[in-house]
Amino acid sequence: MKVTRLAIALALVLALAVAEHASLAAGARVGAGAASTNPKVIIVGAGISGISAGKRLSEAGITDVLILEATDHVGGRMHKQNFAGINVEIGANWVEGVNGEKMNPIWPIVNSTLKLRNFRSDYDYLAQNVYKEDGGVYDEAQAQKIIDRAHEVNENGEKLSATLPPSGRDDMSILTMQRLNDQYVCAAYIKLSLRLFLRAD
């Protein structure tokens, strides 16, 4: 009974999404000139993953694809915001994994295809200040204590990750991992730095 109700609820949500974005969806067809009102494939989200999925399907000869997007732009987190007359890039500012054994497939696109100007991030000589919620800076010992705690949380996450099956089906967010290890980070800025550190590390 619960499964049936859940299936009905999901079907209604999908139907509402399709109806709400019908005008956008018509312009988001992968196949040029595709007029089918019953696409064979629906991709939810026109971020980099959704666009890449649509491109790969098209290359494989599957062109009856509909990409749904909830926002008014394509690109997901990659967009720009005008700030004081200057375009500020928001999201997707770094390409990770460019110095390992396997090259990130985005890196050749950034360099060769798009010819974007890029800089290597070097944090070795970066001054790191951890600011108090009410103003001022934490002393170096307190800041180091926070960084050590962040490393501990990260190591616990790696240990937990090693216990999961390699299928990837049991993947979880960092926040969920912290909760399972009873290391939930509250919203105070000093504790929030743990989460930011884990994202940046």
Would you call 133 a catalytic residue per the annotation?
A: no
Location of structure tokens 């950034």: 110
Q: How far, CA to CA in Å, does 29 sit from each of 50, 68, 88?
A: 12, 9, 29
Q: Which of 20, 59, 69, 96 is catalytic?
A: 96
Structure tokens at 17: 């999404």
Q: E strand or H helix at 5, and its extent?
A: helix 2-20
Cβ within 8 Å of residue 164, ≥6 positions away: 170, 171
- Residues taking part in catalysis: 96
